[in-house]
Structure 1
Amino acid sequence: MKSSIQAVFIDRDGTMGGTGHFIHPKHFTLFPYTLGSVQKLKLHDIMVFAFTNQYHISKGEATTEEFMEQFSSFGFDDAFICPHEATDNCLCRKPKPGLLLKAAEKYNLDLEKCAVIGDVGDTDMLAAYAVNALKILVRTGWGNEALGRYRDNWIETSPDYIADNLQDAVNWLICK
């Protein structure tokens, strides 16, 4: 089945699994529905990319290779990772859209035909907003906080869909 969505970018911590906080790739646990959700997207001919800020790389607490191996083992087509700290003022750290732009160039994507699924409004949703991609906020991880006490941090946009979790987000996207 061919979808009108070219690719989905999925945040790691709090969206795929974990708690929303950094967990080393060796100890990271996926939510039970994550692998099935990734496979469902791929069955619909949608590329699936990890999309994550991981400043612990710059601190020497993990390596880009460890994250890349992890995402590959989960079935992702590729991963776009910002290894920088917020103070580094790079172009790739979400909410800046650098990771999305890099993926668009590498895979010849129209980002308006892509979706971002994440749990943080002022990073994931703002990055998606910057390139006019579909914005899906999950309530797992920091999602409920993003919709509550942190909502003012990303007031300039609203999600296209608020999902209970990644599985709900993928189901909505496929049925859209």
Structure 2
Amino acid sequence: MRRCHPVAPQKTLLYTGPNRCGARRNCARRGLCLPTVQHMRAGVFFERDGILNEVQIEHQHPVTPLTLSQFRIKENVRPLLQKLKQAGFVLIATTNQPGIARGYQSRRELDQMHALLRRVLPLDDIMVCPHDELDDCPCRKPRPGLLLEAAFKWHLDLERSFVVSDKWQDAEAARLAGCTSVLVRSPWIKGAHHDFLFSDLDSVVAKILQIHGGARVTVKKH
């Protein structure tokens, strides 16, 4: 069984706060200890295609860009992500890119697209599953592996974290990981479980900031 990794090597972030055993980094168990909940952060996970960048629609399905020349970041995304960053969220893009395993996607082109994404948007990380369905990868959405790996790396409290997407696979991954799913209306949601549904990303970000600010929300918007 394969394990997915971030699109490019990242500097490991060492947690230096109190662990659940009450000790700090000199704890003999520091490789096993997890940070206490009050020292964990909240994250927002974004599906890449359709949320952060434009996609082409062919035969009623979204088609991921395969080259840097095809890659277009949505114009309204940057200021919205900046609001979330200022609120203290860890911002992470997640994406299935099976073209790598299937041989029609260049890893070099993918890295170039993600380098551009990092330059333009205030993302902390980009998590990629490059495998095909037949690889049975635990990180391929709708499985929650990418969310779980990011939570371990960035010390995230998944119960206080959000998944933003226009696809059912991300909503299911959010459910399995214990995150709140906030979807943008699209033909690719199907009948997936979700916590909130909005017509645009502006409304999604406003709802996340409202919840993060302590507002009590009990009614879904459809």
Question: Higher relative CO (CA 8 A, sep ≥ 6), structure 1 or 2?
Answer: 1
What secondary structure sits across from 1:94 in the alignment?
A: coil
What secondary structure sits across from 1:169 in the alignment?
A: helix
* 1:69-91 C-alpha deviation (Å, 9 max, x unpaired): 13312221001110111111111
Change (3 A) 1:67 1:103: farther
Unpaired runs of 5+ residues, structure 1, are none
- 1:30, CA displacement in angstroms? 2.1
Q: Determine which structure has more spread, i.e. the larger CA radius of gyration.
A: 2
After superposition, the CA RMSD in angstroms is: 1.8
Change (3 A) 1:86 1:111: same
The runs of 4+ residues in structure 1 deviating greater than 4 Å are none
Q: How many residue pairs get matched? A: 161
* 1:31-73 C-alpha deviation (Å, 9 max, x unpaired): 2211111111111111100011111222252325234313312
Output the CA distance in 2 between the equivalents of 1:99 and 1:136: 17
Q: 1:103–1:109: 8 Å Cα contact kept in structure 2?
A: yes
Higher helix share: 1
Which residue is equivalent to 1:88? 135
Output the CA distance in 2 between the equivalents of 1:8 and 1:106: 14
**Structure 1 residue 137 corresponds to structure 2 residue 172:** no
Which residue is equivalent to 1:22? 64
**Structure 1 residue 50 corresponds to structure 2 residue 93:** yes
Output the CA distance in 2 between the equivalents of 1:71 and 1:99: 18
- 1:163, CA displacement in angstroms? 1.6
Unpaired runs of 5+ residues, structure 2, are 1-39, 56-61, 212-222
Output the CA distance in 2 between the equivalents of 1:70 and 1:56: 19
| 57-66 or 41-50, larger mean C-alpha shift | 57-66
Output the CA distance in 2 between the equivalents of 1:171 and 1:57: 35
User: TM-score if structure 2 supplies the norm length?
Assistant: 0.67
Change (3 A) 1:25 1:116: farther
Q: 1:68–1:79: 8 Å Cα contact kept in structure 2?
A: yes
- 1:136, CA displacement in angstroms? 0.7
Which residue is equivalent to 2:22? none
Which residue is equivalent to 1:168? 203
